[in-house]
């Protein structure tokens, strides 16, 4: 409802980041998104959730999309007036053969037992909505949205008035 409305609306602010798929850039990617959304005064837990979801998506581009090569990852972040944040993370890597399977909790292509297979589950649990579009040999596009909770405005004068009225 509010999501579909904001899809048609122009964002209040937006950024686009393009980076090569070096794993050292994972930190930069999530930190850049976190600094950008800080202007909306999100709760600390909301920043942590978004950072983590971005980290998962970018790691997927690096580990899976560009498994044997280095390619471009593009991240676009849009903020809307209703406090919806839309994050799109794309690669032009190998693509996902079976999206349903990839999204299954604990599913991993790794046999060493070092990967949890929880990347998509983290994105789905920490964001409101996650859409995955992928084409074999074409790449993968992940769209994640989250509506931030309203800002708590600190107003001591108003709070005192309310307190006096209730007494």
Partner 1 sequence: MSNCEISMDEAKNILTAYIIGDIDHHNAKPVRDKIDNALYLYRPKELLMDLSKVDFMDSSGLGLILGRYTKAKELQCEFAILNPCDMVIKILSLAGADRIIRIIKEDA
Residues that bind partner 1 (CB under 8 A): 23-24, 26-27, 30, 45, 48, 51-52, 55-56, 59, 62-63, 105-106, 112-119, 121-122, 125
Per the annotation, the verdict on 115 as an active-site residue is yes
Residue 62 or 79: the one with the smaller Cβ distance to partner 1 is: 62
Cα separation, 118 vs 124, whole angstroms: 10
Residue 45 or 131: the one with the smaller Cβ distance to partner 1 is: 45
Q: What is the CA radius of gyration of the chain?
A: 19
Residue 157: CB minimum distance to partner 1, A: 33
Per the annotation, the verdict on 56 as an active-site residue is yes
Cα separation, 167 vs 158, whole angstroms: 15
Residue 32: CB minimum distance to partner 1, A: 14
Helix (H, G, I), strand (E, B) or coil at 61: helix
Residue 79 or 123: the one with the smaller Cβ distance to partner 1 is: 123
Q: Is 152 exposed, middle or buried (0-12, 13-18, 19+ CB in 10 A)?
A: exposed
From 115, 125, 158, 160, active-site residue: 115
From 26, 30, 60, 83, active-site residue: 60
From 30, 46, 56, 83, active-site residue: 56
Count helices and strands in the chain by DSSP H and E runs: 6, 5
Q: Which run of H or E residues covers position 130?
A: strand 129-135
> What are the backbone dihedrals phi and psi of residue 138, each rounded to the nearest 5 degrees, phi first?
-110, -35
Per the annotation, the verdict on 30 as an active-site residue is no
Q: 103 is written with which tokens?
A: 């999204």
Q: 17 is written with which tokens?
A: 């980041």
Residue 64: CB minimum distance to partner 1, A: 11
Residue 115 or 162: the one with the smaller Cβ distance to partner 1 is: 115
Residue 33: CB minimum distance to partner 1, A: 13
Annotated catalytic residues are: 56, 60, 115
């Amino acid at each position: 409802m509010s999501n579909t409305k904001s899809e048609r609306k122009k964002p209040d602010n937006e950024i686009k980041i393009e980076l090569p798929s070096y794993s050292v850039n994972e930190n930069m990617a999530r930190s850049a998104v976190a600094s950008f959304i800080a202007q909306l005064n999100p709760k600390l837990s909301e920043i942590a959730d978004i950072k983590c979801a971005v980290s998962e998506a970018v790691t997927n581009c690096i580990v899976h999309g560009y498994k044997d090569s280095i390619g471009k990852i593009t991240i676009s972040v849009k903020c809307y007036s209703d406090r919806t944040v839309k994050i799109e993370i794309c690669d032009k890597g190998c693509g996902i053969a079976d999206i349903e399977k990839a999204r299954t909790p604990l599913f991993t292509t790794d046999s060493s037992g070092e990967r949890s297979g929880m990347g998509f589950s983290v994105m789905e649990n920490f964001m409101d909505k996650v859409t995955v579009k992928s084409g074999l040999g074409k790449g993968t596009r992940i769209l994640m949205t989250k509506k931030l909770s309203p800002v708590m405005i600190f107003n001591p004068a108003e709070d005192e008035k309310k307190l006096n009225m209730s007494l």
